[in-house]
Copies of this chain bind each other. A is one copy, B any other.
């Protein structure tokens, strides 16, 4: 019996790195999650990734053959194969394609983690069949992948789609990128935490969140408080949705997408966040766009989506060879 071809999809996040074996049909056969250890080097991470892969491949039932590797990573450049000074990782600039070759010599492609998620959504998620959409990945940071005319938008030097680093508030909160007021500083795990603390200062409402320190507060705790009727927590989701909805109106003015797909962490809060995003987007849109842009939540399982996207990236390359 001939072996079944699979690609290795790798999604490198600020906190965790997920890897998985992806078939041509978009099935994630086996996957694993390891900590990224953001302060370590890229080489350290890939050493651990391929150690994990050596466990993963035999563990998959069946006879699989690795034909390519697709990688999604922050600040990744599709054209150069480099990750360039990622804001949440202590890497500097690294040529990832060359680094991977030291471990496995198969066709490898690299893109922004959010671009990979967008590709996963396009091939296997709620954006199937769409020609123009935006994928927003709400995680440690705020990523975005833009699909125009059925293809990922890379722009002149491969870095298009950084909506998380458009300015939501001029001279606003300090962002990890070194500038001030980026949307990411308002709409992300860290962003909603900062909003909670702002609300704790401004309001005198009781809140269970007044018993949690800044370092201990997580978006999961904010979500749980909101579900239990905590007013500050609920307002924090509304405010986060307002920032996102208002900013996305500017993205629509640029791109006229059919839909905006929300993926990851905060998007799992469902209507707590979504109602506010939809209302504020709609109120902020230029007339010609009103009522035309769908806000969707990713149809892919949280853990699989990015791996499927990274896997889809290299399948896409292999098919076009």
Chain A contact residues, CB within 8 Å of chain B: 75, 84-85, 131-132, 146, 148-149, 151, 153-163, 165-167, 169-170, 177-179, 246, 249-251, 253-258, 284, 286-289, 292
Contact = CB atoms under 8 A, between A and B. Distances in A.
26 contacts: A75-B288, A85-B288, A132-B155, A148-B149, A148-B153, A149-B151, A153-B255, A155-B257, A156-B292, A157-B292, A158-B256, A159-B256, A159-B288, A160-B254, A160-B255, A160-B256, A161-B254, A161-B256, A162-B256, A163-B253, A165-B253, A167-B250, A170-B246, A177-B286, A178-B287, A254-B254
Given A132-B155, A159-B288, A254 B149 contact: no
A286 B74 CA distance: 14
A256 B157 contact: yes
6 shortest interchain CB distances as A-B pairs: A155-B256, A160-B256, A156-B258, A166-B250, A162-B253, A132-B156
A229 to B, nearest CB: 30
Given A169-B170, A254-B254, 13 more contacts: A85-B287, A131-B156, A132-B155, A132-B156, A148-B149, A158-B256, A162-B286, A162-B288, A167-B249, A167-B250, A177-B286, A179-B286, A251-B254
Nearest to A179: B286
B159 A254 contact: no
A271 to B, nearest CB: 25
A162 B165 CA distance: 19
Contacts of A75: 288
Contacts of A148: 148-149, 153, 155
Contacts of A170: 169, 246
A166 B254 contact: yes
Contact of A255 (B155, B177, B179, B284): B155
Contact of A246 (B132, B167, B257): B167
Contacts of A288: 75, 84-85, 159, 162
A282 B3 CA distance: 53
Nearest to A158: B256
A289 B155 CA distance: 11
Nearest to A175: B286
Contacts of A284: 167, 179
Nearest to A283: B179
| A249, A257, A287 — most chain B CB neighbours (10 Å) | A287
